[in-house]
Chain A
Amino acid sequence: MEAASIHNEGGASPFKRASRAIGDKLLPIFAGLAILYMLIPIVVIAVFSFNDPQGRYNFEWVGFTTEHWANAFGIPELTSSLVTSLQLAAVATVISAVLGTMIAIALVRYEFYGRKPTNFLIVIPLATPEVVIGAGLLSMFISFSFPLGFVTLLIAHVMFCISFVVVVVRSRLIGFDRSLEEAARDLGATPAQTFRLVTLPLIAPGIISGSLLAFALLIDDFVISNFNSGTTVTFPLYIFGASQRGIPVEVNVIATILILVALAAMAIVLWQQYRADKMAKVEPEPDPMQEHPRESRKHAVTKQTP
């Protein structure tokens, strides 16, 4: 980019040069403001977890206390809703990860009739508002007088997540090197051994990222759960119920803990990526076409993948 701008500036008027300088600064400033905008609500949540509100509503800053952090799991309904959410998300993630991965493997690795309708069936839940998914399921459960509760929530959660898992795992499977499987077969591995020892370890990162996305979506789901929960209370449903009579500060504490856990998990992923990048840099990558080190590394990486 630098080379290109030098090249253009030759004939530019001073006015143009000044406006370009402002333009160059404007983009990072805008990005900084946008990131600030994204982060403000979590700062508010964390700060208000130390608030000491007098009434039932935690909207105005009154005073500092760590009392609610000490009492984080001291509200039985809140704690049990959190446990329900975690159980539900864990079971639903496992089921949708298995079903979704199987579909993704079929889509990427095999030729078969009915690919178009299959794709359509995968995409259509993603293009349907959650309120319609929730209402549809509730309509069916009402027609059968099926009791609402943990089971209906599980059914709804798995249904909602399969498509997301398929999309993520499929995108990871596309770059998969099939010659490794052939090599295993040539060396006398049975199909089962090949799958267990070669295929599965190679597609594991895709399955893990698909499962993480599913888990994050499920622990957070409110709309579909709202329709199909009956008397079962998940963490988001507890918050919704509590919002009418004033949300306890402990909710802010737990929300802050959840963010910290997610931040730690992401930090580990980023750090591993950073280490992998560092290792990739050790190999020499002579590329005379490239003048810019960062971009040349990027192109080198894309060149290796096919």
Chain B
Amino acid sequence: MSGGRRALPYLLLFPGLLWLVVFFVIPLVYMGELSLRTGSLTEGFFFNWQFSNYSDVLSDYSQQFLRSFIYAGVATLLALLIAYPLSYAISFRGGKYRNLLLFLVVAPFFTTYLIRTIAWQTILTDQSPLVEFLASIGLTSNGRILDTPASVIAGLTYNFLPFMILPLYTSIDTLDRRLIEAAKDLYASSKTAFLKVTLPLTAPGIVAGTLLTFIPASGDYVNAYFLGGRNQAMIGNVIQSNYLVTSNYPAAAALAFILMLIILLLVVIYIRFAGSEALMGDEASTT
């Protein structure tokens, strides 16, 4: 009986973890192998430790890498600036309508991602009322929003906002309100109470939200494709077109590998700096 019980967790884990190993870990090994090949689509690609693929793509596409991380960073910051007050307002002022308000906030994300992005294309198109208004007060470069960095960042911010709102809302809503009252009873001003109590206690939500927004945003190519035109390509666009349009597999695989490594590095640094409870969420379950 006890032998059976000891084997049970492994039996439960086995099929799911096998799927993840075979279809997530091993593909990455193949991607690494593909990135070190050389050749062409017609002659075939041969493996010969072609490390120069990496230096080639880094020098060819450094601009797109930089653009991806800057756009994703700005979008993450904007999403945080929108999501924090919004989540705070829903949690503290929403009263019995809290669930309804939260529902209204995530409702748009039940439509297809592409359709949402195309809706922004409609809103930001050159003759739209919004763009004409922004142009009339001088907020556009030569009367356009579409195909500028602003439209790509706006799209990224919008599309990944729920990934920011949901963890933030959870951490703000589970905050013990009595701690804020205690701070105020001890003569802390509202501002001090917020900075010394609310903000540190909701930090796990901020960490989870920023990671969940930044990671998909930096690899995204849908927003740049629909809202950015020719000159706003992000690294996702380059990977997509090298894999699926020009079939330049080794370069595409090298780019994808570099993207993954940079993001892993950033995540590790960020978690060291901010604590890991938010992402792993396991500390609670091991007790």
User: Is B107's CB under 8 angstroms from A102's CB?
Assistant: no
SS of A interface (majority): helix
Q: Mark B183-225, 1 if CB is under 8 A from A, else 0.
A: 0110001100000000000000000000110011011111000
Q: Is A84 an interface position by the 8 A CB rule?
A: no
B212: nearest chain-A partner, CB-CB: A126
**A207: Cβ under 8 A from any B Cβ:** no
CB <8 Å contact, A4 and B184: yes
The answer to whether A139 touches B249, judged by C-beta atoms less than 8 angstroms apart, is yes
Looking across the interface, which residue of chain A has its beta carbon closest to that of B32? A139
Whether A135 is near chain B, meaning CB under 8 Å from some CB there, is yes
How many contacts A-B (CB < 8 Å)?
A: 272
B114 near A44: Cβ-Cβ < 8 Å? no
Cross-chain contact B121 with A59 (CB below 8 angstroms): yes
Kindly identify, within residues 1 to 52 of chain B, every residue whose CB is under 8 Å from any CB belonging to chain A: 6, 8-10, 12-13, 15-17, 19-21, 23-28, 30-31, 33-34
Asked, given contacts A4-B185, A8-B184, A135-B31, whether A159 binds B19 with beta carbons under 8 Å apart, the answer is: yes
Give chain B's interface residue range (CB within 8 Å of chain A). Answer: 35 or more
- How far apart are the CA atoms of A235 and B249 in the complex, in Å? 26
Known contacts: A115-B286, A239-B112. The answer to whether A273 contacts B99 by CB under 8 A is yes
Max chain B CB contacts within 10 Å: which of A112, A138, A302? A138
- Which residue, of A7, A34, A240, has the highest number of chain B Cβ atoms within 10 A? A34
Is residue A86 contacting chain B, with contact meaning CB distance below 8 A? no
Q: Which of B90-148 contact A (CB under 8 A)?
A: 90, 92-93, 95-96, 99-101, 103-105, 107-108, 110-116, 118-123, 125, 127
Question: Which residues on B sit within 8 Å (CB–CB) of A28?
Answer: 89, 93
Contacts of B60 in A (CB 8 A): none
Q: Which residue of B lies closest to A45 (CB)?
A: B119
Enumerate chain B residues within 8 angstroms of A259, measured Cβ to Cβ: 107, 110-111
Taking CB atoms, residues of chain B closer than 8 Å to A158 are 19, 23
Q: Which of B23, B105, B256 makes the CB contact (< 8 A) with A132?
A: B256
In contact, B112 and A236 (Cβ under 8 angstroms) = yes
Q: Are A38 and B23 in contact (CB under 8 A)?
A: no
For this complex, 16 residue pairs linking A to B, each with C-beta atoms less than 8 Å apart, are A28-B93, A41-B119, A45-B115, A45-B116, A126-B212, A132-B259, A135-B239, A135-B243, A139-B31, A140-B26, A143-B33, A166-B16, A220-B112, A239-B114, A240-B114, A255-B112
